[in-house]
Amino acid sequence: NAGVMQNPRHLVRRRGQEARLRCSPMKGHSHVYWYRQLPEEGLKFMVYLQKENIIDESGMPKERFSAEFPKEGPSILRIQQVVRGDSAAYFCASSPGQGKETQYFGPGTRLLVL
């Protein structure tokens, strides 16, 4: 039973480019969470999605960031026109359902913006 998978593991972008981060939840999990971790910091909640629905995006910047979790395929976190301050580790977690408080984390994508 594969765990949460994220790709790419490392991503380098120049300022102004787009970054696409993918997350495949654990089998049977329909809830996905995205977090951002800055160096020497804890994880900050960004967005919570279920299949085809954004449930809570209160932690996501209003500009340039978007997330989706389509009926088929992985969840995507998209950052347009990246800036240096977007450099961070982005983690995805999944859970089997609402009210299931334990989340299972992927290995993360390290984004570096040059």
Partner 1 sequence: SQQGEEDPQALSIQEGENATMNCSYKTSINNLQWYRQNSGRGLVHLILIRSNEREKHSGRLRVTLDTSKKSSSLLITASRAADTASYFCASWGGTGANSKLTFGKGITLSVRP
**55 in contact with partner 1 (CB under 8 A):** yes
User: How would DSSP label each residue in 1-18?
Assistant: ----EEE-SEEEE-TT--
**91 in contact with partner 1 (CB under 8 A):** yes
- What's the rounded Cα separation, in Å, for the pair 93 and 12? 22
Residue 70 one-letter amino acid: P
- Stretch 1-30 residues interacting with partner 1 (CB under 8 A): 4
To the nearest whole angstrom, how small is the minimum distance from the Cβ of residue 16 to partner 1?
A: 27
| H runs (alpha helix) in the chain | none
| Binding region for partner 1 (CB under 8 A) | 4, 33, 35, 40-45, 48, 55-56, 58-59, 91, 93, 98-99, 101-108, 110
